Amino acid sequence: MTFPVANLRGFDMAISIPARDLSACVDQGLNGLSHFYPQASLPTANWVLGARAEELGIAPVGQQSANASCQLLRCADGWLALNLARDSDWQLLGAWLQTDTPPGDWDTLQMALNQQSGQLLQARGREMGLPLAFVDGPGLVEVSSLRLDHQCTTDPQTTAARSLAGARVVDLSALWAGPLCAHLLQACGAAVTVVSSTQRPDGARQGSPLLYDQLHAGHEHLVLDFEDAQQCQQLALLLTNADVVIEASRPRALLGLGLNREALAVTRPQIWLGITAYGRAEPAGHWVGFGDDVAAAAQLLQWDELYQPSFVGDAVADPLTGTFAALAVADALARGRSGRLDLSMHSVAAACRYKIQQAGQALACPIAGNHDLRRQ
């Protein structure tokens, strides 16, 4: 059975307003949440964008991302933003470059890419599960190509307007965007249960422990073995009874466990938020992406007079998406929606790039100098 797809008009309005910079983009999302929940204690835009960088004392340096896992590499027809955050990514480089002697460091990798087509490498890398993005130059985001993947598929459970006050949120996500969304929903009154897997613990817990604790403060934590049938049944019951579910895995991950929304007997109004790198549609639903490389794909880069790109902020597609995902959930509930709500990091980053472009401003690296955690 298929159900109609509805754009969220309030969310559209918030994300289409021009903004002078990325901090203003985040402020617009937070202001949208404040409109629904004026008593919520929400963080500042500076904290949203810069908390991790301030905690770790990091910043982007030219073609190197703030956390140093992503590099902008010159190739024959443009630039590749390649994110090698995992050991397994480095192990794929030989097959990716089709060589018997894979590069073991960034300098050697750059030499290997000088005469190669970035477009071809992007296509091959995405098939292999590498997080990367090809950029041919400082282009503008065109209105005709701006597609915000936030449609909410309504189902028979659609009902009257609902509130986040006392709502049960189950957060299956990890890293940054999803947990930030859950953090903001809790600030608006929701009760959040974080579910993590014994097989794949959240790497952010070790990578940025202070931010992890801040994002998860006050949440209930449940660690389950996703390979255990009984514990999967426990999770299925938890998901079925949730008012909001947040997940940020590729579509096939939960499908393989039989824990996707379509497989569950959901009989209550529910928003199932799926955060992806590039959307659920094929082939993009299989592409891997993290904050820095997805931001590059969306043209969230600075360019100098020699057409040399550099990163803007710290993995900015993550905090931007987390902010606007929370607003999209609040908007969907206020409109009585029920169903799947899809939001891609790429579409949010591109929309924010367009907001700044429409304001006639150049991109600048946001400053994380505000230590205040809450807005005044």
Tokens found for residue 150: 């936030």
Q: What's the pLDDT score for residue 3?
A: 41
- The pLDDT of 105-128, averaged and rounded, is 97
Q: Is the peptide bond before 283 cis (omega within 30 degrees of 0)?
A: yes
Above 70 in pLDDT, residue 161?
A: yes
| Residue among 65, 331, 72, 306 nearest 185 (CA) | 331
Above 60 in pLDDT, residue 369?
A: no
**Structure-token match 């990163």, residue found:** 311
Q: Please tell me the distance from the alpha carbon of residue 182 to that of residue 308, in angstroms, as a whole number.
A: 37
Instruction: Say which CATH architecture domain 5-59+142-283+312-358 belongs to.
Output: 3-Layer(aba) Sandwich (3.40)
Q: What is the percent of the chain with per-residue pLDDT over 70, rounded to a whole number?
A: 88
Above 60 in pLDDT, residue 375?
A: no
Q: Where are the alpha helices (DSSP H) in the chain?
A: 9-16, 22-36, 45-56, 87-91, 93-97, 106-113, 118-128, 177-187, 204-207, 209-216, 229-240, 251-257, 291-297, 317-334, 345-358
Q: 229: Cβ–Cβ under 8 A, 6 or more apart, which residues?
A: none
HSE on the CB side for 269, CA within 13 Å? Answer: 16
- The pLDDT of 133-159, averaged and rounded, is 69
Residues 51-102 have pLDDT tens digits of 999 999 999 998 999 999 999 999 999 999 999 999 999 999 999 999 999 9
Instruction: Report the alpha-carbon angle 354-32-274, nearest 5.
Output: 70
Domain boundaries, the chain: 5-59+142-283+312-358
CA distances from 298 to 56, 229, 325, 340 (A): 25, 40, 17, 24
Above 90 in pLDDT, residue 251?
A: no
Amino acid at 5: V
- The pLDDT of 284-290, averaged and rounded, is 93
Residues 169-217 have pLDDT tens digits of 999 999 999 999 999 999 999 999 999 988 888 888 999 999 999 999 9
Q: Please tell me the distance from the alpha carbon of residue 73 to that of residue 79, in angstroms, as a whole number.
A: 5
Q: Please tell me the distance from the alpha carbon of residue 237 to that of residue 242, in angstroms, as a whole number.
A: 9
Of the spans 131-140, 293-302, 332-341, which averages the highest pLDDT?
293-302
**What is the rounded average pLDDT for all residues in the chain?**
88
Cβ neighbour number for residue 374 with a 10 Å cutoff: 11
Q: Please tell me the distance from the alpha carbon of residue 243 to that of residue 120, in angstroms, as a whole number.
A: 43
Residues 321-367 have pLDDT tens digits of 999 999 999 998 998 888 888 899 998 999 999 899 989 988 887 75
Q: What's the pLDDT score for residue 34?
A: 94
CA distances from 227 to 193, 231, 256 (A): 20, 8, 11
- The pLDDT of 258-282, averaged and rounded, is 87
* 54 CB burial (10 A radius; 0-12, 13-18, 19+): buried
